[in-house]
Structure 1
Amino acid sequence: MRLTFTKRDGKYDDLLIERPDAAPETIRNPKQGIIPHDMIHYAVESVLAHRGFLGMVAGGDAAVFATQGGESEEAIERLVESFQAEMWGGRVPADELLETYRIACEARGHAAAPVTAEDVDGVRATLDDLTAKWAAVPVNGSLTVEF
């Protein structure tokens, strides 16, 4: 699956999703001062090989805001949110990020996916790389990754 993120000058950036067996779909990502939310999904899901939103889309689900998964997909959404919060607020020790993640899952009534400190390091490295690449993308320019 090919993901093309396009930086726009308004309140939203775009994500074009191209799958070999489906029509292309575009999702609008609200600007948030860091990389797009779905780019964080890419970092988490590609490094950890857990099924979240992008895994569901790759499996044939429609790429819409209301796409909902089961407990494991919801756990990945909490992990994405934990990394997103860290990107806004600054890095914390891996054990603190994982504890925040566990608490978020517990508050939503589901178990956390197994994630190690080494996994956190891998996701952070991918996020750092994507952040640098995204910063270099001009308005109306794109960044493409394969999932």
Structure 2
Amino acid sequence: MQVIFTKGSTRYGQLRCVRMDGSATQTQMPEQGIAPHDMIHYVVEKRLRIQGAFFSQIRAGADINFTLEHNEASLAVADKTEIWQTESTVEALQSLLWSADAPSYAGFIYLLEQACSNRKLAMPKISESDFEHILNEIMDLTIEWQGMGEGQSLTLKF
């Protein structure tokens, strides 16, 4: 599936996903200075090979909107625990990236523990190596994203 992030105004960009069968879905995404929330999802889900969260559901046919409109195939791949563990991971990474401090694995684990605890979830196992790879890719994409002008797109494969 192609995942297309298009730089918008200072408020909203756009996320468009084009599946292998040519069907597509899209939505607005808030601009936030660092890589957009959905771009962080992309990196996390790809690196950790998560099969039951946001992008896997879209690839299986879910329509992107505020509540993710599902079809049978996308419901079949959805995993509620993975969905919320992934969201907790993305939130922890966003918090680290918005912080003035240099991101650290210890800081990430602390924030991830808090997010999972608040949701009464088991914490996903994310190695320091995976954390470093995820962080480096997000930082590279953030630099690329920040250098783009309105209307320019970044196309990735999921």
- The residue aligned with 1:110 is 121
Q: Match of 1:41? A: 41
TM-score, normalisation: structure 2: 0.85
Structure 2 equivalent of residue 61 of structure 1: 62
Pairwise CA RMSD of aligned residues? 1.6
Tell me if 1:80 matches 2:90.
yes
Tell me if structure 2 keeps the 8 A contact 1:56–1:69.
no
What SS is found at the alignment partner of 1:5? strand
Give ranges in structure 1 of 5+ residues lacking alignment: none
Alpha-carbon offset, residue 23 of structure 1: 2.3
1:74 deviates by 0.7
- CA–CA distance in 2 between the matches of 1:12 and 1:40? 16
User: How far off is 1:79 after superposition?
Assistant: 0.2
Identity of matched residues, %:
29
- The equivalent of 1:97 in structure 2 is 108
Matched residue type, 1:65:
F
2:7 aligned partner: 7
Between the aligned partners of 1:40 and 1:97, the Cα distance in structure 2 is 14
Give the whole-Å Cα distance in 1 for the aligned partners of 2:3 and 2:107.
Answer: 31
Inter-partner Cα distance in structure 2 for 1:54 and 1:64 = 13
Supply the AA of the counterpart residue of 1:72: E
User: Shift in Å at residue 22 of structure 1?
Assistant: 5.7
Separation in 1 of the partners of 2:65 and 2:22? 14
Task: Say whether the 8 Å CA contact 1:47–1:119 is kept in structure 2.
Answer: yes
Matched residue pairs, number? 147
Partner of 1:124: 135
SS in 2 for 1:16: strand
Q: Unaligned 5+ residue runs, structure 2? A: 69-77
Amino acid at match of 1:60: G
Structure 1's 10 and 99: CA in aligned 2 closer, same or farther, altered over 3 A? closer
Partner amino acid for 2:61? G
Secondary structure of 1:14's aligned partner: strand
Whole-angstrom CA distance in 2 between matches of 1:72 and 1:24: 24
> What is the distance in 1 between the residues matched to 2:127 and 2:150?
36
